Amino acid sequence: MDLIQSVLNGEKRGIAKMITLIEKNAPEAIEALKQIYQHTGKAAIIGITGPPGSGKSSLVNQLTKKIRSEDKKVGIIAIDPTSPFTGGALLGDRIRMQELALDQGVFIRSMGSRGALGGLSRASYDAAKVLDAAGMDYVIIETVGVGQSEIDIVKLADIVALVLIPGMGDEVQAIKAGVMEIGDVFVVNKADKDGANRVVTEIEMMLDLNTEKDAARPPVIKTIATTGEGIDELNEHIKKYWHQIANSNELAKRRKERIRSELISITEDHILNQILSDKSSKIDSMVKDIYEKKIDPYSAMELLIAPEK
Amino acid sequence: MTQTNTIRVLVAKPGLDGHDRGAKVIARALRDAGMEVIYTGLRQTPEQIVEAAIQEDVDAIGLSILSGAHNFLFPKVVELLKKEGADDILVIGGGVIPDEDIPGLKEAGIAEIFTPGTPTSRIVEFIKENVKH
């Protein structure tokens, strides 16, 4: 299949076409993914997450320029929200990445979240594999602007950078559960704004309360993405963290957890789709029976998944 | 698994004018019509536009221009797409474009030109009818 060869050669048209197949849920996509799987696992997958307007795209732009100066190749997946009403989306992350547009060592793909609620899109997991197999040294995933609980990025990234900005709330915010728990690196962007030092202090205080003794303490880095200030430090910390997890069993542990959740999720999808397509008329009649109290929902489910005799 | 066929459109502003109100109105209208719109911002070169279109694997490119340089910049985008083997992408244009320039632009491979006053619904229809899926 030339598409596979084209992806493995790192040709941008092949990469782009394969990601489209994945987004379309085309049957060919699964066959192609089977064939590239052997070639994945080399790239460091970095997740950049944080609230809307915190400067994620600008940071990705600066970080990518820095990584490129070390002659490493970068694939970027930038996700913006899809309208739950029309299915349309306005994908605007490229506006902040114009400087990267003609760099042959950078591939950028914008994606709509298409109904996924955890900050990613369904297709982003497999799109990351395509970029990895295409020979990217780094794959950077920029999530949808998140609130407090969209943490799916931990199911995809080896390293998560959580971007925060001054003025988002008091110190109680910092000890809430959810996104504040997933940062391997904390970035306080817009550090020239009032209150930046207070955000740093609040994150540090939260980290002081961590009781897990052997876990590495995440660094807190101040940046100004528009000028590039702090990007060197961010890049150094990411590299240091990568070496640390790659040289211990931490990376393998994380990736195995990810594989487990992926295997379960694709199995779930497959079984569900099979039932929905094979037994849709049976479901209709069951709904009626359940409504009329002829059967309860749990017994109906058991009938639904029982193998046909 | 059910296949989805979301139309993806790159909305781009080639050249040096800084007025993107029109481009944003179009982007919003296409979004509301259920398309995925990639907006790349102001002052794009034809090379940047074509590179983005290929990486994003879009079905259509909408070019908006108010500077008067359409006779050079629009055909240049089509030419570069051909060179990259991506001339299956539908290219349409809009902005302040004199009527006498339109036949030449169509001949150069721009599928349609939409001038001020065009209802956005016509642009949506045109894209839906003309993209190759």
Here the ipTM equals 0.92
Co-location of A160 and A271 in the same domain: no
Maximum distance among all Cα pairs of chain B, rounded to whole angstroms: 49
Its domain, for residue A242, covers: 39-247
Co-location of A139 and A279 in the same domain: no
Query: B40 and A90: CB-CB below 8 Å?
Result: no
Residue A211 has pLDDT above 60, yes or no: yes
What pLDDT does A122 receive? 87
Residues of B in contact with A112 (CB under 8 A): 6, 36
Query: B57 and A17: CB-CB below 8 Å?
Result: yes
Q: Is residue A242 part of a domain?
A: yes
pLDDT, tens digit (0-9, with 9 covering 90-100), for A147-167: 877 888 988 999 999 999 998
Q: State which residue of chain A sits closest to B28, comparing Cα positions.
A: A90
Closest among A141, A155, A173 to A57, alpha carbons compared: A141
State how far the alpha carbon of B67 is from the alpha carbons of A302, B18, B58, in Å: 66, 9, 25
What pLDDT does A17 receive? 96
Residue written as tokens 């876990």?
A: A215
Residues of A in contact with B32 (CB under 8 A): 83, 86, 88
Kindly report the average pLDDT of chain A as a whole number: 91
Q: Is residue B2 part of a domain?
A: no
Percentage of chain A with pLDDT > 70? 95
Q: Is residue A222 part of a domain?
A: yes
What pLDDT does A172 receive? 60
Q: What is the mean pLDDT of residues B80-87?
A: 94
Co-location of A80 and A185 in the same domain: yes
Q: Is residue B31 part of a domain?
A: yes
In this prediction, residue A214 has a pLDDT band, given cuts at 50, 70 and 90, of: low
CA A195, A197, A200, A202 dihedral sign is negative
Residue A230 has pLDDT above 80, yes or no: yes
Q: State which residue of chain A sits closest to B57, comparing Cα positions.
A: A16
The total domain count for chain B is 1
What pLDDT does A185 receive? 95
The total domain count for chain A is 2
Co-location of A80 and A123 in the same domain: yes
**Which residue of B2, B3, B6, B127 to mutate against A (max A Cβ within 10 Å)?**
B6
Q: Is residue A172 part of a domain?
A: yes
In this prediction, residue A259 has a pLDDT band, given cuts at 50, 70 and 90, of: very high
Co-location of A139 and A202 in the same domain: yes
| Partner-chain residue, chosen from A24, A25, A92, that has the shortest CB–CB distance to B39 | A92
Co-location of A205 and A290 in the same domain: no
- Residue B54 C-alpha, separation from nearest chain A C-alpha, in angstroms: 6
Identify the three-state secondary structure at position A161: strand
Residue A1 has pLDDT above 60, yes or no: no
Co-location of A176 and A297 in the same domain: no
Q: Is residue A198 part of a domain?
A: yes
| Partner-chain residue, chosen from B2, B35, B47, that has the shortest CB–CB distance to A88 | B35
What pLDDT does B1 receive? 53
Residues of A in contact with B34 (CB under 8 A): 86-88
Q: What is the mean pLDDT of residues A40-57?
A: 94
Q: What is the mean pLDDT of residues A169-192?
A: 80
> Is B33 an 8 Å CB contact of chain A?
yes
Residues of A in contact with B37 (CB under 8 A): 88-91
Co-location of A147 and A272 in the same domain: no
State how far the alpha carbon of A181 is from the alpha carbons of A176, A177, A207, A225, in Å: 8, 6, 10, 23
Residue A37 has pLDDT above 70, yes or no: yes
Residue B77: CATH number of its domain: 3.40.50.280
Q: Which helix (H) or strand (E) holds A83?
A: none
Q: Is residue B3 part of a domain?
A: no
**Which residue of A94, A95, A100 to mutate against B (max B Cβ within 10 Å)?**
A94
Closest among A185, A297, A303 to A239, alpha carbons compared: A185
Co-location of A238 and A282 in the same domain: no
Residue A134: CATH number of its domain: 3.40.50.300
Its domain, for residue B113, covers: 8-130
Q: Are A164 and A50 in contact (CB under 8 A)?
A: yes
Query: A25 and B4: CB-CB below 8 Å?
Result: yes
Last residue of a domain, one of A224, A247, A270: A247
Co-location of A133 and A47 in the same domain: yes
Chain A contacts in chain B segment 47-66 (CB below 8 A): 47-48, 51-52, 54-57
Q: Is residue A6 part of a domain?
A: no
Q: State which residue of chain B sits closest to A76, comparing Cα positions.
A: B55
Query: B3 and A12: CB-CB below 8 Å?
Result: no
Residues of A in contact with B88 (CB under 8 A): none
Residue A206 has pLDDT above 90, yes or no: no
Q: Is residue A194 part of a domain?
A: yes
User: Where in chain B does DSSP place strands (E)?
Assistant: 8-12, 36-39, 60-65, 90-95, 112-114
Percentage of chain B with pLDDT > 70? 98
CA distance A158 to A44: 7
Q: State which residue of chain B sits closest to A12, comparing Cα positions.
A: B55
Q: Is residue B16 part of a domain?
A: yes
